[in-house]
Chains A and B, each alone.
Chain A
Amino acid sequence: MDNMQKQELASLTLTQAAGLLAKGEASSSELTKLMLDRIAASNNNAYITVNAEAMAAAEAADARRREGGSLSPVDGLPMALKDNFCVRGMKTTCASRMLENFVPPYTATVAEKLADAGTVLLGKVNMDEFAAGNATDTSYFGPTKNPRDPKRVAGGSSGGSAAAVAEDTAYFTMGSDTGGSVRQPAAFCGVVGLKPTYGRVSRYGVVAFASSLDQVGPLNKTVEDCALTLSLIAGRDPRDASSLPNPVPDYLAGLKGAEGLKGLRVGVPKEYMGPGIQAEIRENVKKLIADLQTAGAIVEECSLPQLEYALSAYYVISSAEFSSNLGRFDGVKYGYRAKSYDGYDDMLRRTRSEAFGDEVKRRILLGTYTLSAGYFDAYYLRAQKARTLIMEDFRRAFSQYDILLTPTTPVTAWPLGTAFEDPSKVYAMDLCTVSVNVAGLPAISLPWGTDREGMPVGVQLIGPTLSEDRILQAAHGVEALSLHNYGEGRGQKGGGVHV
């Protein structure tokens, strides 16, 4: 296989690669070896841990296929998990010094489901420390670079997941999304990222950031791949009390390209098209609106006035839950413990102070502050009430529209090492994504052109509760328009990635 062929093989979509395996034109071992070589050659720092058993798993998949006993259409396809998914016997670091050597004795439900489908785990990918961040620059193991321009951030917190898909070192990856952590890096790296309805995919075994907002989601090369991946992981998990019992529809059935856009009622919340959004991104969205109309969709501007408060509500709720969830890291049962200390309390303080990074500390402090006596009502309780109003806003909007269209991010990927004036400016970058988590809704981000410097622009489609099939259908239509507009290469202009 020459380099050209290898590049071609690596850049196949999940669906295409599955086709090759089915036809016997490639083996899981070949694809897995290819991915491992590319991981080793990459300078983007997408991976934290490479699975030493990956080749063995690939060989087992090939053996199953030879014997006609494939577990699923994706049996043998190599993928990666964000490093907050627990996998028995494999390090799960959450990109923190705290868990640098933590080897969980149990496996996350989603990781189990993917293993049951026969996919090959290549390894664990980089993220912001404990998922607190939006640029994968708070990782204890260093930032992940954006494969589209290694001088820029990959986004976060699932930056490694997005980068691995963009640099073709995995056919798909899993991430987790608390305030945009799947969709924003997907947008920054020019890939597809889905945040399902809260409760659609099990959270069991995924290290929690903010329990009432967290949702697991896939990152893919195409919408079709995304639909396929979602069908592998969705569904009720008796180990997660918040997991929804509703049956899982056939997500692939409704995909019909631009056809699927006919008659679609699309609302465009004006709150996410204001001056806070980079002008080129607004231009791209306007272009999409025009294309959608041409394709037969009905597109209107709409207003969700409470969205203005979503960012505030989000940061209050997520920090509170974060501070609570991170209390367990105390140097007693697992994880880091300070080397020297004087007594239990000192051990506790030193352990936490030495092993948590700045951003994690900042959010723990913020969360503790807003929960502490005298502030609970002003912050946490108000945030939860705001949450009620935000959900009502969405409900009203969905009585008029099938989906809502917004930019995924206010800006495109910023240069690594950008000094923001203060953390609140970084938090404001989550403007368009957090409301979806606050309301527990499903949303997808997919590439829609680039900015002037060639950095991908992501657009977000939001649907009502459990409308993953609908937003996938719409996204499939948008993807078709993108191919038409921006040419080959999975809807990305140029498509040249730096490995």
Chain B
Amino acid sequence: MSDYKAVIGLEVHAELDTASKIYCGCTTAFGGEENTHVCPVCLGLPGALPLLNEKVVEFCIKAGLALNCKINNYSRQDRKHYFYPDLPKSFQTSQLDLPICYDGYLDIEVNGQTKRIGITRIHIEEDAGKLIHGLTGTRVDYNRGATGLIEIVSEPDLSSPEEVYAYMETLRQVLLYTGVSNCKMEEGSLRCDVNVSIHKEGEPFGVRTEMKNINSLSAAKAATAYEIKRQKQVLEEGGSLFQATLRWDDAKGINYVMRVKEHADEYYYFPEPDIMPIVISPEKVEAIRATLPELPKARQQRYKEQYGLSDYDANILTVSKALSDLFDQAVAECQGPAKACANFIMGDITRLLNEEALQPEEVPFGGKELAELANLASQGAISSSAASKVVEMLFQPEFAGKGPKAIVEEQNLGQVSDQGAIKAMCQQVIDANPKIVEDYRGGKKQAISALVGQVMKASKGKANPAMANQLLEELLGS
């Protein structure tokens, strides 16, 4: 009886990629010795006062515009009170009823269908410190405390774990493209709370549970799937659900209850008196809009229209802004088809990034080098296997500063397109493989590829395979 529908909303916290914290000049750098990125302001010393980092406001507006939000002309910060050792002032400086951004949306794609997910609001707030749990006590490190965050609250428009995944992935892309957050989930720069309830068509919404601080896309998907299943099971067994905050244990693949939902009135809010109101003029909004980069959706469209790339290629290329930027730079300098550049990115470069465990931003060469390589390949100056080797070398530190042309020359990787030389090699291969030749002549035309392979082997991959094929046919056909 699985006619339950899931109603899912997400609250995503993204740490902003500012140099300094939201209210003081301490660095936002990840890591660092414990409690070395701390000052009287972010330690909440009595008497210390916050000074709002303007970039935090601008980044929030930028994210809002990229997510099709309206921008509040008059906004302010509020204090949200609760006691916890990672919160030095015992209130989090956040925003209650006048967030900077509201009423936006994000289009996601699941199974080839586009779905529009409403964005309720985006507001700025400060991050908490870090608790390190030991056997007897908990240690508190305030380095991360008071780093600027945006919280992006979605409408409960999502209805499946797959949509949760797609939403997070698309949102992450937008945040990376706009440069407001580095979205390093492994460093906690992007985290989400997932709210889930289920109900039957035509019936009121069910009891909602919240899973806090999930920090990977796959965990968000798995936790949602688990929770929907759990809720269904409870209801189908005639049980009842209660409002609760859950914690997803990614290793065990289960949710467990952190606490039964506190009453909303436990957080009391009031306007932050130490921070002056934020007034955002239409001119300011337009100035920030002008700095918005082309977003993934628009890029995909352009790649399809301008370069004739497939949907698939366009999607893959734009997953990472860094790789997409690399593509754009390479295409601008490449004389051959854009597809050649795309293939290198989706093939060798992606493979090497994975093998070397590097981020897309860490590709050690630029569009100029990629264009040079694509030109060499499309002109037939190097074979595809040689091209792969060149990419590998471009990733090696010892080849740093060398372009593909120089590497090809230095390593003697140039493709042999000298008809005489290849013809000689073909003859040798024919002479050395009478059995295959016999097969070929006996009508097994595909046997020729084995001979081409032998030529390639003999030439150490440098022979132009198309030419080898053609010459072999000529020699055997005669």
The distance in angstroms between the C-alpha atoms of A368 and B269, with both chains bound, is 10
Partner of B90, one of A108, A211, A330: A330
Which residues of B sit under 8 angstroms from A324, Cβ to Cβ? 79, 81, 91, 270
Q: Which of B311-331 contact A (CB under 8 A)?
A: none
Which residues of A sit under 8 angstroms from B269, Cβ to Cβ? 371, 376
Q: Which of A63-94 contact B (CB under 8 A)?
A: 84-86, 92, 94
A-B contact count (CB 8 A): 100
Q: Which of B82-120 contact A (CB under 8 A)?
A: 83, 85, 88-91
Which residues of B sit under 8 angstroms from A242, Cβ to Cβ? 273-274, 276
Q: At the interface, yes or no: B458 with Cβ under 8 Å from chain A? A: no
Comparing B38-46, B390-398, B407-415, B436-444, the segment that makes contact with chain A is: B38-46
Q: At the interface, yes or no: A380 with Cβ under 8 Å from chain B? A: yes
- A-B pairs, 9 with minimum CB distance: A373-B265, A327-B90, A212-B273, A211-B273, A371-B268, A207-B46, A205-B47, A207-B47, A106-B40
- 26 of the cross-chain contacts (CB-CB < 8 Å) are A85-B47, A204-B47, A204-B49, A206-B47, A208-B47, A211-B274, A212-B273, A239-B51, A240-B49, A241-B49, A241-B51, A241-B274, A242-B276, A320-B270, A324-B79, A327-B83, A327-B89, A327-B90, A332-B85, A334-B45, A348-B83, A371-B81, A371-B268, A371-B269, A373-B268, A376-B268
Contacts A205-B48, A376-B270 supplied; 4 other A-B pairs, CB < 8 Å: A106-B40, A240-B49, A332-B140, A333-B45
- Of all chain B residues, which has the CB nearest A99? B46
The distance in angstroms between the C-alpha atoms of A372 and B275, with both chains bound, is 22
- Of all chain B residues, which has the CB nearest A374? B265
Tell me how far the C-beta of A421 lies from the nearest C-beta in chain B, rounded to whole angstroms: 30
**Inter-chain contact A373/B264, CB cutoff 8 Å:** yes
Which residues of A sit under 8 angstroms from B51, Cβ to Cβ? 238-239, 241
**Inter-chain contact B83/A203, CB cutoff 8 Å:** no
Residues of B at the A interface (CB closer than 8 Å) are 40, 43-52, 79, 81, 83, 85, 88-91, 138, 140, 263-265, 268-270, 273-276
Q: At the interface, yes or no: A105 with Cβ under 8 Å from chain B? A: yes
Residues of A at the B interface (CB closer than 8 Å) are 84-86, 92, 94, 99, 102, 104-106, 108, 203-208, 210-212, 238-242, 320-321, 324-325, 327-330, 332-334, 344, 348, 368, 371-374, 376, 380
Tell me how far the C-beta of B151 lies from the nearest C-beta in chain A, rounded to whole angstroms: 21
Which residues of A sit under 8 angstroms from B90, Cβ to Cβ? 327-328, 330
The distance in angstroms between the C-alpha atoms of A241 and B50, with both chains bound, is 8
Partner of B47, one of A86, A348, A376: A86
Most B CB contacts (10 A, CB to CB) among A212, A242, A327, A372 go to A327
The distance in angstroms between the C-alpha atoms of A9 and B270, with both chains bound, is 50
- Of all chain B residues, which has the CB nearest A327? B90
**Inter-chain contact A330/B265, CB cutoff 8 Å:** no
**Inter-chain contact A106/B140, CB cutoff 8 Å:** no
Given the interface pairs A321-B273, A327-B83, the reply to whether A372 lies near B268 with Cβ below 8 Å is yes
Tell me how far the C-beta of B192 lies from the nearest C-beta in chain A, rounded to whole angstroms: 26
Tell me how far the C-beta of B368 lies from the nearest C-beta in chain A, rounded to whole angstroms: 45
- Of all chain A residues, which has the CB nearest B46? A207
The distance in angstroms between the C-alpha atoms of A56 and B276, with both chains bound, is 41
Which residues of A sit under 8 angstroms from B270, Cβ to Cβ? 320-321, 324, 371, 376, 380
